[in-house]
Amino acid sequence: MEASQKGAQVIAMSLFDYIKSEYKLPIPQEVLEDLSNTDWEEVEFQTKSLDSGGTLDNYEISIDGSIYIETFKVKEGGGLLDKVRTGIEKIDYTGELIFYTDLLSKDWDYWIEFKALFYKGELKEIELNELEKNDPAERLKMEKMIKKNFSEFLEQRNSWWYKVFYVVTLPLRLLLAIIKFILSSLVGLTMRIERWLS
């Protein structure tokens, strides 16, 4: 397998699909109480179980246990992210579906994962597969550090000496950009010549 194919395979393997559930999920009572303001039908889970290969498609488990995929069309000249929703379509999925998400409350960080079994697009059984309850102290510490670093970065960018430094180094940065453009053009030209010769 060529390196570019391996890279594409790694990217594809790391993607996922989104799934929401109108069907009542087997959520433990303590989680329901702690996250009492959560609209569970609007919680967006992730899954790598479906046949799409993880293309960021949107699925939904209906209140009666059927599974649907969101249909869309791509805007003319647009990419995969330029989608316009056209509706939903029932799918004939058979297999295990594992979906999961992180949920944050004031006191706890939860990782919650469900396992569902479908036969020909109909839900046969669903269970809580995993529940992790973690102290949010480490996350909050990290968030505080990121905020502090960002604030320091903005302060630095807005300081008088940075503005002077930016103006003084502008000619050098322009020169480097021109050199980079020339070198990349030469590399492109070299590759085209090599392809033409072989």
- Burial class, 175, CB count within 10 angstroms (exposed 0-12 / middle 13-18 / buried 19+): exposed
Q: How far, in Å, CA of 97 to CA of 53, rounded?
A: 13
Q: Given the structure tokens 């996922």, which residue do they identify?
A: 16
Query: How far is it, in rounded angstroms, from Cα 87 to Cα 73?
Result: 10
Q: What are phi and psi of 35, to 5 degrees?
A: -110, 50
Report the first-to-last Cα separation within the chain, whole angstroms. Answer: 22
Q: Would you write out the chain's pLDDT as a tens digit for each of its 198 residues?
A: 444 444 444 444 558 899 999 999 999 999 999 999 999 999 999 999 986 655 788 999 999 999 999 988 877 776 666 777 788 899 999 999 999 999 988 888 999 999 999 999 999 999 999 999 988 888 878 878 888 888 888 888 788 887 888 888 888 889 999 999 999 888 888 888 888 887
Question: Domain coordinates of the chain in residue numbers?
Answer: 3-135, 142-197
